[in-house]
């Protein structure tokens, strides 16, 4: 139930974006400027509603019982360092794939979203949204459904890269899958994984 709800809620803003694209193609230019603020407002409302709804569902499912421990200074320091190390390693992997002329389709989609979405909506979805939705689905839900932690670990590190892209560029997401799945396997803390994931994405947008 939680996995299905997360998938549906995280897809809502994409539906609004498609509706926006249809309206731009159908409406005459003078009407586009009229509807643009309304569509932007709708994107904001859908984004915030999806984030709030998934967070509440996670809380009620017991995944945030230890969230305060995530912000204890020793663990917080460890998680920040882990995010920085992962960022640097992924940067090197990305450079290697670029040098090998392997196209990262997920990165191309992110660039399209950057130009189509309001900046604030893009940043929230790319950092907090991506971290909350993906960690809920690929870590919390998979581990909860499968019960067997070793099997859940293997499934998670295989599914996570393939969902992002279906060619060799999926290799770029293997380090992230290993680190975040390993973190959940070790601590079973969804808030830890969300923090590392969100921080990693936020910093990657800056470089």
Domain ranges, residue 70: 2-204
pLDDT of 48 strictly over 60: yes
**Given CA atoms 149, 150, 151, 156 in this order, what sign does their dihedral have?**
positive
183-201 per-position pLDDT tens digit: 999 999 999 999 999 999 9
pLDDT of 9 strictly over 70: no
Please state whether the predicted TM-score (pTM) of the whole model is above 0.85.
yes
Look over the chain and give the mean of its residue pLDDT values, rounded to a whole number.
84
Q: b/e per residue, 115-136, with b = 16+ CB within 10 A?
A: eebeeebbbbbbbbbbbbbbbb
pLDDT mean over 39-68: 87
Q: When comparing pLDDT for 152 and 4, which is higher? A: 152
Q: Distance between CA 51 and CA 135 in Å, rounded?
A: 13
132 Cβ partners below 8 Å, 6+ apart? 51, 54, 55, 58, 194, 198
pLDDT of 33 strictly over 70: no
Q: When comparing pLDDT for 27 and 135, which is higher? A: 135
Q: How confident is the model at residue 103 (pLDDT cuts 50, 70, 90)?
A: confident
**Count of structural domains, the chain:** 1
Most confidently modeled range among 22-31, 118-127, 180-189: 180-189
pLDDT mean over 144-170: 90
Q: How confident is the model at residue 79 (pLDDT cuts 50, 70, 90)?
A: very high
* Residue count of the chain: 207
Q: How confident is the model at residue 26 (pLDDT cuts 50, 70, 90)?
A: low
Residue 166 has what pLDDT?
A: 76
């Amino acid at each position: 139930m939680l996995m299905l709800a997360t998938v549906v809620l995280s897809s809502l803003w994409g539906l609004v974006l498609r509706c926006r694209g249809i309206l731009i193609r159908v409406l005459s230019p003078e009407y586009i400027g009229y509807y643009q603020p309304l569509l932007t407002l709708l994107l904001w409302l859908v984004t915030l509603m999806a984030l709030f709804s998934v967070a509440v569902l996670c809380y009620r499912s017991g995944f945030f019982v230890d969230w305060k421990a995530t912000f204890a200074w020793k663990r917080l320091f460890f998680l920040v360092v882990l995010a920085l190390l992962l960022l640097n390693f992924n940067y090197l992997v990305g450079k290697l794939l670029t040098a090998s002329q392997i196209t990262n389709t997920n990165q191309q989609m992110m660039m399209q979203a950057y130009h189509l979405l309001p900046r604030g909506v893009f940043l929230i979805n790319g950092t907090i949204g991506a971290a909350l939705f993906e960690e809920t689905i690929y870590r919390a839900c998979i581990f909860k459904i499968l019960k067997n932690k070793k099997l859940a670990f293997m499934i998670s590190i295989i599914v996570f890269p393939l969902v992002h892209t279906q060619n060799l560029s999926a290799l770029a997401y293997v380090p992230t899958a290993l680190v975040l799945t390993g973190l959940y396997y070790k601590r079973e803390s969804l808030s830890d994984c969300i923090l590392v994931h969100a921080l990693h994405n936020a910093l990657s947008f800056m470089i």
